[in-house]
């Protein structure tokens, strides 16, 4: 007898949805497609040689540590290296404030496990990162949304919102829009969350990928400035970082920086999930921090991605100046395009793939209510400037001029 699996699956699976992006990436990976859909680092900037050398060193010198089980909290020297990074920015962090994770995506999952109850109200930006929605939807929270403009989250709207227990913020080069939370809004956000007694999850994977403009302090740095030595007792920001964008996503190493009670509870949750993050991966990262490889590769990354961002903005100006508006990201991997006419970007995608071999992610994937139908996310990190130019020209040729509402 065939098994009716749908009656066997746990109730929470009804909230699990395939990520539109992951599905799309399967098609977009075809070599004949110019893909603006993914969010990957460019393959040519991955430091393959450096990782090979570090791996060999580690295996020869400390192979029995690297191939052994490790602590759930993470490899202690790497925790200390990360804590030191934040101390240099005024956050009084120790190793007890750092948990190493399997990428920051696991940080999102663990936050859900230890801090989100069914029915809790969570405030997320609209649009927001799909991976956070995937991690938290099965927990059946009540999502509230807040809009963003070219200065990031519209922080002034918070005061008029219903109560929420946690807000999820992407302050730098937000995925999907590429916008950055203005310096002037950051302190207001931290103070308003403290006044409400809520928590902030600050997801900051693109922090180091800035190509123009001035950096503002992280929310957790602002909070530490306000709280001083009391930060570990009174801090309300849980910060997620990752080596996926500055080193290599395949190593799957990210971190959580938070007050130690949060780290202790997340460590317990991690034990039940995967025991610990790969020791070999963590030791490779640690060695590449020590040898300053990550730091020394950053100028090249910024130059390659900055040139690609400029290529995309220039191509949009040349081919879509009349029919669309777009964001001007100072960093990260994406920009956000809004078509002026009445064209559904999810419908247009079929035609773009079929006729023009172009992929992008339709805007509705990033909204809880399925809005964003005239919007799309465009990734600029994976294609050469020439392919970007060609791809935008092809995409623009699909947009009928009569659809343009001036």
CB of 374: closest distance to ligand PMP in angstroms?
A: 23
Q: Comparing C-alpha atoms, which of 121, 168, 167 is closest to residue 143?
A: 121
* Alpha-carbon distances of 357 from 31, 193, 379, 400, rounded to whole Å: 10, 45, 15, 18
Q: Which of 172, 232 has the CB closer to ligand PMP?
A: 172
Window 168-207: residues binding ligand PMP (CB under 6 A): 170, 175, 203, 205
CB of 356: closest distance to ligand PMP in angstroms?
A: 25
Residue 242 near ligand PMP by CB under 6 A: yes
Identify the residue whose tokens are 């100028």.
Answer: 299
Window 249-288: residues binding ligand PMP (CB under 6 A): 249, 254
Q: Which of 249, 391 has the CB closer to ligand PMP?
A: 249
Q: Which stretch binds ligand PMP (CB under 6 A): 177-185, 241-249, 277-285, 293-301?
A: 241-249
d(CA 254, CA 373) in angstroms, rounded, equals 33
- Residue of minimal CB distance from ligand PMP? 103
With CB under 6 A as the rule, give the number of residues binding ligand PMP.
Answer: 14
Q: Comparing C-alpha atoms, which of 406, 336, 342 is closest to residue 374?
A: 342
Residue 131 near ligand PMP by CB under 6 A: yes
CB of 8: closest distance to ligand PMP in angstroms?
A: 29
d(CA 203, CA 196) in angstroms, rounded, equals 20
CB of 79: closest distance to ligand PMP in angstroms?
A: 17
d(CA 346, CA 360) in angstroms, rounded, equals 9
Q: Which of 231, 366 has the CB closer to ligand PMP?
A: 366
Q: Which of 21, 324 has the CB closer to ligand PMP?
A: 21
CB of 280: closest distance to ligand PMP in angstroms?
A: 17
Q: Which of 73, 203 has the CB closer to ligand PMP?
A: 203
Q: Comparing C-alpha atoms, which of 106, 91, 98 is closest to residue 76?
A: 98
Secondary structure of residue 143 in the 3-state scheme: strand
d(CA 65, CA 183) in angstroms, rounded, equals 43
Identify the residue whose tokens are 């969010």.
Answer: 39
DSSP secondary structure letters along 149-163:
ETTEE-GGGGGGSPP
Q: Which of 258, 396 has the CB closer to ligand PMP?
A: 258
Q: Which stretch binds ligand PMP (CB under 6 A): 98-106, 134-142, 260-268, 337-345?
A: 98-106
Q: Which stretch binds ligand PMP (CB under 6 A): 156-164, 242-250, 343-351, 389-397?
A: 242-250
CB of 104: closest distance to ligand PMP in angstroms?
A: 4
Positive or negative, the CA dihedral 244, 246, 250, 251 is negative
Q: Which of 205, 259 has the CB closer to ligand PMP?
A: 205
d(CA 397, CA 406) in angstroms, rounded, equals 18
d(CA 71, CA 399) in angstroms, rounded, equals 54
Secondary structure of residue 5 in the 3-state scheme: helix
Q: What φ, ψ does residue 55 adopt, rounded to 5°?
A: -65, -45
Binding to ligand PMP by CB under 6 A, coded x per residue (else -) over 137-166, reads ------------------------------
Q: Which of 97, 105 has the CB closer to ligand PMP?
A: 105
Q: Which residues pair with 126 in a beta bridge?
A: 147
- Interface residue with ligand PMP among 129, 136, 319, 380 (CB under 6 A) is 129
The tokens for 277 are: 């993050």
- Interface residue with ligand PMP among 39, 41, 171, 259 (CB under 6 A) is 39
d(CA 279, CA 261) in angstroms, rounded, equals 24
CB 280 within 8 A of CB 67: yes
- Residue ranges binding ligand PMP (CB under 6 A): 39, 103-105, 129, 131, 170, 175, 203, 205, 242, 244, 249, 254
């Amino acid at each position: 007898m065939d098994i009716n699996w749908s009656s066997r699956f746990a109730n929470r699976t009804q909230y699990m949805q395939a990520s539109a992006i992951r599905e799309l990436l399967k098609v977009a990976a075809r070599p004949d497609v110019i893909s603006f859909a993914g969010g990957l680092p460019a393959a040519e900037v991955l430091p393959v040689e450096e990782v090979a050398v570090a791996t060999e060193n580690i295996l020869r010198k400390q192979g029995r540590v690297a191939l052994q089980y490790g602590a759930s909290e993470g490899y202690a020297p790497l925790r200390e290296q990360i804590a030191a990074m934040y101390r240099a920015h005024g956050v009084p962090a120790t190793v007890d404030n750092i948990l190493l994770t399997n990428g920051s995506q696991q940080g999102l999952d663990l936050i859900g496990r230890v801090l989100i109850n069914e029915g809790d109200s969570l405030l997320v930006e609209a649009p927001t990162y799909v991976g956070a929605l995937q991690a938290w939807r099965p927990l059946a929270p009540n999502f509230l949304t807040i809009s963003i403009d070219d200065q990031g989250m519209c922080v002034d709207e918070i005061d008029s919102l219903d109560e929420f227990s946690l807000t999820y913020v992407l302050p730098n080069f937000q995925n999907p829009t590429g916008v950055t939370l203005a310096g002037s809004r950051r302190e207001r956000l931290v103070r308003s969350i403290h006044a409400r007694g809520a928590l902030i999850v600050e997801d900051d994977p693109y922090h180091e990928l800035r190509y123009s403009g001035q950096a503002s302090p992280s929310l957790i740095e602002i909070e530490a400035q306000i709280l001083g030595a009391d930060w570990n007792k009174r801090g309300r920001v849980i910060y997620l970082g990752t080596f996926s964008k500055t080193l290599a996503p395949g190593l799957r190493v990210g971190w959580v920086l938070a007050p130690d009670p949060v780290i202790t509870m997340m460590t317990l949750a991690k034990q039940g999930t995967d025991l610990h993050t790969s020791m070999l991966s963590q030791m490779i990262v640690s060695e590449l921090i020590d040898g300053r490889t990550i730091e020394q590769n950053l100028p090249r990354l910024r130059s390659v991605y900055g040139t690609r961002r400029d290529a995309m903005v220039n191509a949009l100006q040349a081919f879509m100046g009349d029919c669309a508006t777009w964001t001007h990201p100072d960093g990260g991997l994406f920009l956000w395009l809004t078509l002026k006419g009445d064209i559904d970007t999810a419908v247009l995608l079929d035609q773009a793939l079929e006729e023009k071999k172009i992929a992008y992610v339709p805007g509705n994937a990033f909204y809880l209510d399925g809005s964003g139908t005239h919007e799309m996310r465009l990734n600029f990190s994976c294609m050469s400037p020439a392919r970007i130019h060609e791809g935008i020209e092809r995409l623009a040729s699909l947009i009928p001029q009569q659809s343009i509402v001036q």
